A and B are shown apart, each in its own frame.
Chain A
Amino acid sequence: MAEQLQALGRKTTAGGAPLTATRESLWKDALRRLVRNRAAVVGGTIIVILILAAVFAPFIAPYTYDGQILKDQNTVPQWILNLFPVMKNYAKINNNYLLGADYVGRDLFSRIVYGARVSLTVAFIGPIISLIIGVIYGSISGFFGGRVDNIMMRIVDVLYGFPTLLFIILLLAFFRGTLARPEPGTFSYSISQLDAQMGGMLFIFIGIGLTAWETMARLTRGQVLSVREKEFIEAARTIGASNLRIMFRHILPNIIGPLVVAETLAIPGYISTEAFLSFIGLGVNPPTPSWGAMISDGAQVIRTYPNQTIFPALALAITMFAFNFLGDGLRDALDPRLRGTQ
């Protein structure tokens, strides 16, 4: 009991401080602390470089992503041969390609650079959709509780009940099947044209978007549930803070850390969803490259031409590291209790 009282006492003072602090300082503070975190800066830099590489792919890649030179198929440069001596028995040497050429003689390096477009788009669109919908939905549900919570969560349960991948597979089969060759001028025609322009990514986004936000909503709700009963919220309420204010000034900053971390953790999930869809043949349209598709294609030759898997996988891993470090940095930076420390 004494412990509780003590905690309550401390909370009011600690929780009271932000009420009087200036509004901008929260985000300014966060940015300042983020910049000070070396790992996060490295991660952020890598992501910026990757984005630039994706945007300026035509200037970086020495070849196009779809240009085939059949006679160069499955060739490897000398340095890779030195790295994997087992390939010496059968691999043809060709130093024109930095990382080697694939099964129809396309430059692997160029395809990895172009592949960043698909994978990064998936990596950004997925979280953005799920964060926006999920956090708003989840916090409303958790904050108001009771009947609202119950109804909203049951709706999520229903949507959540669909196995994500299965739902995406069904949706893709449905979209691509019914919109195969529609009449020009109709809505479905414009949709399928848009999808074709995006190399088949549109339906993947729709699939991921329709299924990804529910996790975030549940997580947000769980967090809000635990925070909303905290003493400093009660304190804010006693001094007459509005619901909206409590939500955005007191609850969200307190829960955003785990949410951002969860989202950076979900990014590999989105990318591997794309990879899985490629694996079962429902990914982006060939010859549009994506890391996922390259890895699953390459995995078939992993023993014969390991370079065809390892480099796209490496690109993926580096991206993951970057997102994770940045996510960690963001979490630390956004944690209000760390304010003024360090």
Chain B
Amino acid sequence: MRKLYLAISLLVLASMVLAACQPQAVEVVKTVVVEKEGETVVITATPEAAPAEEAGPKTLRLNLGPGDVPTIDPALATDTSSTQINILTMVGLTRQDEVTTETKPGMAKEWTISEDGLTYTFKLRDDVTWVKYDGTQVVQVTDCEGNPRKVTANDFKYGILRTLAPATASDYAYVLAFALKGAADYNAGKTEDPETVGVKVIDDYTLELTFNEPAAYNAQIAGMWVAYAQPSWLIDGDDCTEARGDRWTETGFFQGYGPYTLKEWVHDSYITLIKNPFWPGTEDIPQAKIDEVTFTMLDEVPAFAEYEAGNMDATGVPLADIDRVKADPTLSAELEIAPVQCTYYYGFNTKAPVVDDVRVRLALSKAIDRQGLIDNVLKGGQEPAQWFSRPGLAGAPTIDKFPDLGVKYDPEGAKALLDEYLKEKNLTADQLDLTLMFNTSSGHQKIAEAIQQMWKDNLGVNVKLVNQEWKVYLKTIKGKDTPQIWRLGWCQDYPDANNFIREVFSLGGSGNPDEDPKDGVPDGGINLLDEAFEAKVREAARELDPAKRVQLYAEAEDMLVVKNAAIAPIYWYTRVTVTKPYVQRTFSVLGGQEAIYKWDIKK
């Protein structure tokens, strides 16, 4: 009996240890205070249950994808989930239109540019206040005298400097570091004087930014989340506010000023945003019509099940289910395929055996039946890519103007090229030792398997498939072990061909890396050293006449995908979504940054 007693007491002890893991009242301090509310239910929008006349609040339920949103702190955001929340809860000086990609006014009503094109003076709106959700409703944040706190130029300066501070260790601070005057030194810790950074408060509603280059994208960078206003009193504390430091974005603490504000963030589960009635509403960023938006964090397949069960208002379609969706009368009517500014491609290591011959590379590229791949494997209505910079970007060639630019499916041409090579080397096709590497994922695998078969059918070559886990893969394709053929995708940071062909494939770009810039020799990726190509993309970036610019980029693309055949562009991305018919929405081309303040629900 004693032994049983011991066993039980041990169990009790164990449960006490476990219980102690949770901060408890009295002597144990809680680091996070979660507002306790009446209901614990996940907000759902059940269309059948809603009454005919709009009585209750309009709610929307969307999915962000699996895993917790990494952060909603604009200084730290790097991914689309985080920035989706950022653009709704806060507004930058400018805002990129999610459909046309034009730069529109945001918190700045207007701005003037100095003659040298370096200094931008932004006139801020004076009718925007900081708000927070107090557990029952959205209220204005007040200062120590009890007056509403307006969003001022100081808040923007604080935000920019906080993003740049070395201690913040922000990834995307590099955007500000390369664009803003003095920002790089401040970010690298070479100086601790914030006044050396090109951000100056003229008065409460006037902010002056000084840039390094007179570039067209300066106004876009000023509108990026890394340059949002941030609440210094909340983060660092002041006379009447407790400092929340790194925790300022949690439920109950968060303060914002955008068309929505944070109501609840249940980590790993969902984020609920609530309409900010104090947002004045502008032409480009109107007051929200939908009262509450809940973003779940589900994998695509369960999210689609929720959609079919009527609990989700819009979601991505798992590509595996697309045949059924297209055949279903209801779902097919709700289906929408929208372009996304991304390109999927295979890169060739131009220094590796076999593919060091341009004929082999071009043969492999021409032997890919891109439309067949799209119709049979991808099924998302993607566009076959003939070159790298996705049409729709500023400066990028378009199919209707350049129908014959780049590569197309041409099995005979491919075979002829390869035969020439084989004859010269006195080899047969099956003797070629080729390896295609991709990062582990069933999607990439399907594409690789299909293309492997096309190469076998059209050229008779047996290409080995190898996959590596993502982080290992990234190391591999950027070093001396870069395989003969590898895959990557590229999505826009800003909508310009410069962001594609030059930033990826010129020497030192992410697809043509140069670990040691002094030697001027690429270290992996496509391993391409082509002075003519480098000169062409530099010339195109400087060209001001749009038509000439497109022509220059077309020539550069021809060099990349035909003359050098350093890559085989595969397809231009699309996004396949279903939306319930009662949701009026826009489709963002900016990689999932939806302008939900423009949406409405009409039942």
Contact = CB atoms under 8 A, between A and B. Distances in A.
A320 to B, nearest CB: 25
Contacts of B441: 281
Given A300-B301, A300-B318, A287 B449 contact: yes
Contacts of A303: 321, 324
B453 interface: yes
A177 B377 contact: no
A70 B450 contact: yes
Nearest to A92: B323
Contact of B476 (A68, A180, A196): A180
Contacts of A74: 323
A90 B377 contact: no
Contacts of B323: 74, 90-91, 304-305
B328 interface: yes
A301 B377 CA distance: 13
Contacts of B453: 67-68, 70, 104
Contacts of B446: 103-104
A282 B472 CA distance: 13
B469 A104 contact: no
B321 A173 contact: no
A285 B467 CA distance: 7
A286 B469 contact: no
Most buried by B among A73, A180, A196, A282: A180
Contact of A73 (B328, B377, B452): B377
A172 B372 CA distance: 34
A281 B320 contact: no
Interface of A: 66-68, 70-71, 73-74, 89-91, 103-105, 172-173, 176-177, 180-181, 196, 281-282, 285-287, 297, 300-301, 303-305
A85 to B, nearest CB: 13
B448 interface: yes
A181 B353 CA distance: 14
B469 A282 contact: yes
Contact of A286 (B326, B377, B449, B481): B449
Given A70-B377, A297-B442, A304-B323, A285 B466 contact: yes
Contacts of A173: 469, 472
Contacts of B452: 287
B440 interface: yes
Nearest to B454: A70
Most buried by A among B328, B445, B476, B483: B445
A90 B468 contact: no
Given A73-B377, A103-B446, A281 B326 contact: no
Most buried by A among B320, B441, B449: B320
Given A89-B328, A90-B324, A104-B450, A177 B442 contact: no
Contact of B469 (A91, A281, A285, A304): A281
Contacts of B464: 196
B376 interface: yes
B491 interface: no
Chain B interface SS verdict (over half): helix
B469 A176 contact: yes
A300 B442 CA distance: 10
A48 B180 CA distance: 72
Contact of A104 (B324, B328, B449): B449
A286 B465 contact: yes
Contact of A180 (B321, B440, B472): B472
Given A89-B328, A104-B377, A282 B320 contact: no
A172 B452 CA distance: 25
A105 B372 CA distance: 13
Contacts of B465: 285-287
27 contacts: A68-B450, A70-B377, A71-B376, A73-B377, A89-B328, A90-B323, A103-B320, A103-B377, A104-B446, A104-B449, A173-B472, A180-B476, A180-B481, A181-B476, A196-B466, A281-B467, A285-B465, A285-B466, A286-B445, A286-B449, A286-B465, A287-B449, A287-B452, A287-B465, A301-B321, A304-B323, A305-B323
B25 interface: no
Given A104-B446, A281-B441, A286-B448, A70 B372 contact: yes
Given A70-B450, A180-B468, A300-B318, 5 more contacts: A90-B326, A104-B377, A282-B469, A285-B467, A287-B452
Interface in B280-333: 301, 318, 320-321, 323-324, 326-328
Contacts of A180: 468, 472, 476, 481
B106 to A, nearest CB: 40
Contacts of A286: 445, 448-449, 465, 467
A287 B467 CA distance: 11
Given A70-B450, A281-B442, A287-B449, A181 B321 contact: no
A42 to B, nearest CB: 36
A304 B442 contact: no
Contacts of B475: 177
A71 B445 CA distance: 18
Contacts of A281: 440-442, 467, 469
Given A89-B328, A104-B453, A304 B468 contact: no
Nearest to A308: B320
A304 B321 contact: yes
B445 to A, nearest CB: 5
Nearest to A176: B468
A90 B475 CA distance: 43
Nearest to B435: A181
Contacts of A297: 442
A64 to B, nearest CB: 11
A286 B326 CA distance: 29
Contacts of B450: 68, 70, 104
Contacts of B445: 286
A71 B369 CA distance: 12
A282 B321 contact: no
